[in-house]
Structure 1
Amino acid sequence: MKYSVFAAALLGASAAYADTPELTVYTYDSFVSDWGPGPAVEKAFEAQCGCDLKLVAAGDGAALLARVKLEGARSDADVVLGLDTNLTAAAAATGLFAEHGVTADYSLPLAWEGATFAPYDWGYFAFVHNADAVSVPTDFKALGASDMKIVIQDPRSSTPGLGLLMWVKAAYGDDAPAIWADLADNVVTVTKGWSEAYGLFLDGEADMVLSYTTSPAYHLIAEEDATKAAAAFDEGHYMQVEVAGVLAASDQPELARDFMQFMVSEGFQSVIPTTNWMYPSVTPASGLPEGFETLITPVKSLLLPADEAAALRDGALGEWLDALSQ
């Protein structure tokens, strides 16, 4: 009799689990890490959705789009989180994304428009270095003329890597090839993604690493370590706005849009500053954590429109490859 009761309970639990909707979100590696936003986001969303949220690491940001394009309508993903405005035009052109329906009072430093992708955080690219470094370059020309060794990311797989191409292009236009020719000798290595590059910098393999103006906040707040700083560049810093989108072929479209709306809520946005170490797209009620006020403020914000970035990408990539292959 006891076994019958146990079996019935087990079958009931199995049926309940089978009825639990599952939402799959493709994102980048650092998002799902133990120290990233993933664990807190998963716990908070599952508490309100009664669902199983699966966060799937799919490489760095640019690799996300490549994977979704390869999988097409057969993709297991319902939501893709981790593209940026340098990729949104190419992503929209695939026809794989649907309107998200998100409404939000964004605190971005620019007006946000578009019904296909919604922003969840933003920041500025920067070269991070040890705070005690001497003669830190203050622009790309000075960096190219210096002996500083740098680690950067591959623009074909990484959104920071692609952001660097757009940064140089936005700042120097037709002179970008000359900038890259001077920078080539400074590049120690090119990594597939951000995590690998930052790890090499922390291991002392390079003097500077392509990261964000907000990266020193991690060391200051999480580690009580004030030994890292971001170099302020006179020509300005390129902005990154990270976005998410719903796949049109999702078998959970309503749940996917619920997640997108949750993404701009307090439960998601409040964890961004101290887990993703970026600025939230909607300022939490608590504001930014103490320590963010110590970060550099770019003298000029650079950001190419999505369609212009898409049009320039192949040419800028060719210039980069030519310089680094010499």
Structure 2
Amino acid sequence: MALMFSLRRIVPLLLGLSAVALIVAACGDNDAPADDARTAADFAGEELVVLVHDSFAISAETIAAFEDQFDVTVTVVLTGDALEGLNRAILTKGNPEGDLLFGVDNISFVRALEADVFLPYRPAALDSIDESLIFDDSGHITPVNFGYVLFNFHKAALAQAGLSAPATLEQLALPDWSGRVAVQDPNTSSPGLQLMLVTIAYFGENGPYTWLDFWRDMRANDLIVSDNWTDAYYTQFSQYGGGAWLVNSYATSPPAEVIFAESPLDESPTGNVIVPGGSYRQVEGVGILRGTDKQPLAQAFIDFMLSDRFQSDIPLNMFVYPVVNGVPLPSEFLEFAQIPTEPAQIDADVVAANLERWLDEWTDVVLR
């Protein structure tokens, strides 16, 4: 969910890489835990550049706590979508535009490892993270947060139509939902990509009714396709005046509706469509970019990202879940964010081997 945020320094990522020399900088690998005894004297006056996708958000006070602790400046650079950020990191491998890259997830990390853009680092706080959230066994990418992509429904619209939330994905192609479902293009949107992967896992590529059969039926049922999450949610979704009663979004969108409501609410106006195998759990992580000359400071920042201070700041800024066990959640998350117990199971290696073909097939069926 894209949210506005403010840090001490945010700079736009410069366009055009033609002037960037792709020179591999000599830098030793080191996956030992950072020294807990590090002080401001070790880093005083240094600048740490953190590349992030546009949906990254954390409070200025939290970033300032790290800056003050080590007498450094943290510059956060927005790279667009998370996939765009990874592409740029690959293009500038060895001569990176920053010291850390945040936003590589439990699907895209396969490309990152193949391109060898990260240095290994295993923070001590990994012991406080559930093993199921640690998606990179090689120790190059540290998990930071996770969330669930699924369909939200507008309660008032369904009540007026006399409908209940769908219990299966197959129902979405029925006449009741004609012109009432909004999704994002997987070519341009991360949640759209994750939904596409969910349908591949849910329906399969072979058999009497495949994932492409589903999308053909959805197109015939007047599916609404947006380029991005913002348009799908704030323009197409009936909660905001659009025609779609269902929208591909996040499990934490309902509590966000309560938190940002103009008047206090006892109930969220939206709910989650809970379908076994019909959601996707995304885990996002951070890695140290190969070629940085700030490796020790980058390690210290990763340690900070797994601290209680940073982790507890994640839910109400990025509206996703912290990965460290025991971090308290906002009451709205506990009350209004129904968590899927059976998300889709997707093998990252299979995705890496087939993603381009799947995107082409989806585009042929849905858009052409």
Matched, 1:119 2:143: yes
Q: CA deviation at 1:241?
A: 0.7
Specify the code of the residue in structure 2 equivalent to 1:90: R
Of the structure 1 ranges 72-81 and 254-263, higher mean CA displacement relative to structure 2 is found in 72-81
Residue 296 to residue 316, structure 1, CA distance change in 2 (3 Å): same
Please give the TM-score of this superposition, normalised by the length of structure 2: 0.76
CA RMSD, Structure 1 to Structure 2 (Å): 2.3
Distance 1:300 1:40 in 2: 36
CA offsets, 1:161-216, max 9 Å, x none?
2211211111111111111112224432322x434433323643333322111111
1:139-218 aligned at under 5 Å gives the runs: 139-145=168-174, 146-174=177-205, 175-184=210-219, 185-191=221-227, 193-200=228-235, 201=237, 203-205=240-242, 206-218=244-256
Q: CA deviation at 1:306?
A: 2.2
Q: Name 2:308's counterpart in structure 1.
A: 266
Q: CA deviation at 1:24?
A: 0.9
Please give the TM-score of this superposition, normalised by the length of structure 1: 0.85
Specify the code of the residue in structure 2 equivalent to 1:27: V
1:99-110 aligned at under 5 Å gives the runs: 99-104=120-125, 105-108=127-130, 110=132
Q: CA deviation at 1:48?
A: 1.9
8 Å CA contact 1:121, 1:241 repeated in 2: yes
The residue matched to 2:89 in structure 1 has which SS? helix
Q: Name 2:93's counterpart in structure 1.
A: 72
Residue 182 to residue 49, structure 1, CA distance change in 2 (3 Å): farther
Residue 245 to residue 194, structure 1, CA distance change in 2 (3 Å): farther
Flag structure 1 segments of 5+ consecutive residues without an equivalent: 1-18
Q: Name 1:131's counterpart in structure 2.
A: 155
Specify the code of the residue in structure 2 equivalent to 1:197: A
Flag structure 2 segments of 5+ consecutive residues without an equivalent: 1-43
Specify the code of the residue in structure 2 equivalent to 1:220: V
Distance 2:168 2:131 in 1: 23
Instruction: Tell me the number of residue pairs that the alignment of Structure 1 and Structure 2 aligns.
Output: 303
Matched, 1:25 2:56: no
Q: CA deviation at 1:94?
A: 1.0
CA offsets, 1:237-267, max 9 Å, x none?
2211111111011121111111111111111
Identity of aligned residues (%): 29
Q: CA deviation at 1:148?
A: 4.4
8 Å CA contact 2:93, 2:290 repeated in 1: no
Q: Name 1:6's counterpart in structure 2.
A: none
Q: CA deviation at 1:159?
A: 2.4
Distance 2:151 2:129 in 1: 25
Q: CA deviation at 1:155?
A: 2.6
Q: CA deviation at 1:122?
A: 0.9
CA offsets, 1:22-80, max 9 Å, x none?
1111111121xxxx325344223212222111111111222211222233333311111
1:248-267 aligned at under 5 Å gives the runs: 248-267=290-309
The residue matched to 2:339 in structure 1 has which SS? coil
Distance 1:258 1:203 in 2: 42
